[in-house]
Chains A and B, each alone.
Chain A
């Protein structure tokens, strides 16, 4: 016991030295900013089951590298501190506190995940640190009245589900709808949005709901159960891997409902081709980003700029991965905000500029879709466009749909039953 107590004391001291050693010296020109540098913080899962999202962080780092090579933001280079949180909220809290208190970053950018971002939202708002462009489609991050320092980026999942709901009400009013959803905030948000749009018809029209976990190896059982309900419309609110499995299984059991896919899982190369393009024919989705594997964008200037950037700055990235486009576009949004802040790079001014974007165009957003924010509107992208998968690629149809930003869905429910 003697040895143990002594070792305990010694190791506490060692632990302290380790912690000190990891701390970075604070800048002298306001939080995270000097004449030559701007420090930006980020957390996302580089390890664990959600590590598929790590391509986003790598793409962002690569974009900032290109900006730095071109002279930086008014002469200041962006130092992008992206840390692993393993998609675990306690770890996110730890990493964000370290970034804010030890590394003294100017702002947090694109904290990835709903639970993880919720875990640090209170802390960041209490400490008046901008939580910019949270990487999730959950509606909670568009709440400037209670959390003025927090802002989302992509169209909310509920808004998107409402778009599908509207299509069903307009074109398939007698439909019987089945829903496959991931058992977390992402999947459930689609369910809530769909129910909200179908309104009092929801209970009658939605005949089956099945969920899955990201640890489930297959979802065959869920698809079979959904088929048995007799539904003729299927909404798949799943991440790419499970979307591929779903498309394939639905076809294999000889079921041909009208299928809606969520916008996260529409990549031609990583979802549609593995499922089998003939099996995916006819699925409907909504989009706001250009799919890099879609032939209709090859040769356009926006795509060419993206391709050149990928080849020079992110050569290890997968040219078929839409996450690289997402990372590219989010990074461009941040650069726009920083440039608009000029030499007044305080947290206040950065937040003010983030909430004053007016129809910002980005090269990899679909034509007609722009970014706008305001003091009461913390939802930068609200528009989407419907598209149908035909042959080898997606065909956009209809007009760009405005979307609502999702605030009114904050109190909706997900209904009873399975």
Chain B
């Protein structure tokens, strides 16, 4: 494409259309293609690869929860691993002790994580920056300790083995592929819910609170209520992800929910793009695949390679993979038309 054609295309997109279709129509098309691809993948991949992709989607849901809170609302959380565990154990206990079928454990897991998040969000209102980081970190530390202490309920250090899920008869799907589709449906649902929330009034309120809290309050936005609800919604997403993880992996124990898990979510969120929705998927891919790649590159110091990957991603794309193209795109438009007053911001 010539420079002028590129500039014209940029103008079109900024005006809301391209090649005759509105941007909205393009979005639906792209979403449709993506979902179709995702639905076709499990039939082209091996059981193990399907399992890996299912984990990617689970981590994407967890990271999406974190994006809502930290990206859109500006409240840092180093404790989302704890909420992930809360959802996981809710599912594990309901399935193991009370024989609840796996799909029926998801709403209680969501509810438990939501309530926990709101309870946490209330004192969190007082804090920001590193102080909030400490408060949330306390959650990440407390949860494994509670899990070990209340061992009659949680199985303590032995953990809980979950009953294996049997796919419904007649669909011709095996265990791994069935769970893949279950998680895919929930991921698409989660992204839709998040999009509705964040691209509407609530989203604008959250962003206003993040960027200009005093002005937002002055405009009449009930900051405390929004911040607390943001916390609860965020932890609800991550809690559901935890429940799904318990079902897919088939085992829960306190060892699996360390502080490092919370840090991984934060890293995945930042790498994907902290204030984006699609970035959550990139974050999930990063958390799942990069440590394995690092292990293949160097089995003597795998974490060093993992850490290095984090650094390189942040240098190249400080706003995340999905968050960076936006500003780059805007800068490109500006450079194409240096004398156009309308492009100056």
Asked if chains A and B are in direct contact (CB within 8 A), the reply is yes
Taking a contact as CB atoms under 8 Å apart, the answer to whether B27 and A12 are in contact is: no
A11 touches B285 (CB 8 A): yes
A-B contacts counted at CB < 8 A amount to 157
Tell whether A114 pairs with B250 under 8 Å between CB atoms, given A3-B322, A12-B281.
no
Q: Which residues of A contact B48 (CB under 8 A)?
A: 19, 23, 97-98, 101-102
Contacts of A123 in B (CB 8 A): 250
Query: A332 at interface (Cβ–Cβ under 8 A)?
Result: no
A124 CB, min distance to chain B CBs, angstroms: 12
A109 within 8 A of B: no
B343 adjacent to chain A (CB < 8 Å): no
Binary contact readout A21-54 vs B (1 if CB under 8 angstroms, 0 otherwise): 0110000000000000000000000111000000
Please provide the 4 A-B residue pairs with the shortest distance between their CB atoms, ordered closest to farther. Answer: A4-B278, A9-B34, A5-B30, A119-B251
Interface hits, A154-174 → B, CB 8 Å: none
Chain B contact residues, CB within 8 Å of chain A: 23, 26-27, 30-31, 33-34, 37-38, 41, 44-49, 51-53, 55-56, 145, 148, 156-159, 161, 164, 195, 245, 249-256, 258, 260-261, 276-279, 281-282, 285, 288-289, 292-293, 295-296, 299, 302-303, 321-322, 325-326, 329
Within 8 A of B (CB), among A79-109: 82-84, 86-90, 93-94, 97-98, 101-102
What is the distance, in angstroms, from A24's C-beta to the closest C-beta of chain B? 11
| A131 vs chain B, min Cβ distance (A) | 14
Residue of B whose beta carbon sits closest to that of A97: B48
Q: Which residue of A lies closest to B277 (CB)?
A: A4
- Once the chains bind, are B30 and A115 in contact (CB under 8 Å)? no
Query: B56, B159, B260: which contacts A89 (Cβ < 8 A)?
Result: B159
CB proximity of A389 to chain B, nearest CB, Å = 29
A6 in contact (CB, < 8 A) = yes
A259 within 8 A of B: no
* Most chain B CB within a 10 A radius of its CB, from A19, A88, A119, A122: A19
Closest to A187 in B: B157
Q: Is A228 an interface residue (CB 8 A)?
A: no
Q: Which B residues are in CB contact (< 8 Å) with A232?
A: none
The answer to whether A118 touches B51 (Cβ under 8 A) is no
- Find A119's partner among B31, B44, B53, B249 (CB 8 Å cutoff): B249
Given the interface pairs A15-B289, A84-B295, A89-B249, the reply to whether A114 lies near B158 with Cβ below 8 Å is yes
Contact across chains for A48 and B250 when beta carbons are under 8 A apart: no
Given contacts A5-B278, A11-B282, A115-B158, contact A88 B34 (CB under 8 A): no
Kindly provide the distance from the CB of B141 to the nearest chain A CB, expressed in whole angstroms: 8
B303 touches A185 (CB 8 A): no
Instruction: Tell whether, in the assembled complex, residue A90 and residue B37 are in contact, meaning their CB atoms are under 8 Å apart.
Output: no
Docked Cα-Cα span, A167 to B158, in Å, equals 29
Whether B159 contacts A19 by the Cβ 8 Å rule is no
Instruction: Indicate whether A412 reaches chain B with its CB closer than 8 angstroms.
Output: no
Contact A89 B255 (CB under 8 A): yes
**Structural contact, B278 and A46, CB atoms closer than 8 A:** no
- Docked Cα-Cα span, A3 to B161, in Å, equals 41
Asked whether, in the complex, the Cβ of A115 is within 8 Å of the Cβ of B31, the reply is: no
Interface size on A, residues (CB 8 A): 51
Q: How far is the CB of B79 from chain A (nearest CB, A)?
A: 15
Q: Separation in Å of the B191 CB from the closest CB of chain A?
A: 9
Give 22 pairs: A residue, B residue, CB < 8 Å, sorted on A. Answer: A1-B195, A2-B23, A2-B27, A5-B30, A7-B282, A7-B321, A8-B278, A12-B34, A12-B285, A19-B52, A46-B302, A47-B302, A88-B260, A89-B249, A90-B249, A90-B256, A97-B51, A114-B157, A116-B255, A119-B251, A183-B157, A213-B145
* CB–CB B37/A9 < 8 A: yes
Q: A9-B30, A94-B55, A185-B157 are in contact. Are A118 and B253 (CB under 8 A)?
A: yes
Decide if A227 is an interface residue (CB 8 Å cutoff).
no
CB-CB under 8 A for A7 and B322, given A84-B299, A118-B253: yes
Q: How far is the CA of A114 from the CA of B255 in the complex (A)?
A: 10
For A140, the chain B residues whose CB sits under 8 A away are 158
In the bound complex, do residue B245 and residue A22 qualify as a contact, i.e. CB atoms below 8 Å apart? no
- Chain A nearest CB from B165 CB (Å) reads 13
A115 engages B41 (CB within 8 Å): no
Q: Which residues of A contact B282 (CB under 8 A)?
A: 7-8, 11
Known: A12-B38, A12-B41, A94-B55. A1 touches B27 (CB 8 A): yes
A248 within 8 A of B: no
Residues of A within 8 A of B47 (CB): 101
Most-contacted residue by chain A among B249, B293, B326 (CB, 10 A): B249
Give Cα A168 to B253, complex, Å.
Answer: 34
* Most chain A beta-carbon contacts within 10 A, residue among B44, B48, B303, B326: B48
Distance in Å from the Cβ of A273 to the closest Cβ of chain B?
Answer: 27
Q: How far is the CA of A47 from the CA of B277 in the complex (A)?
A: 31
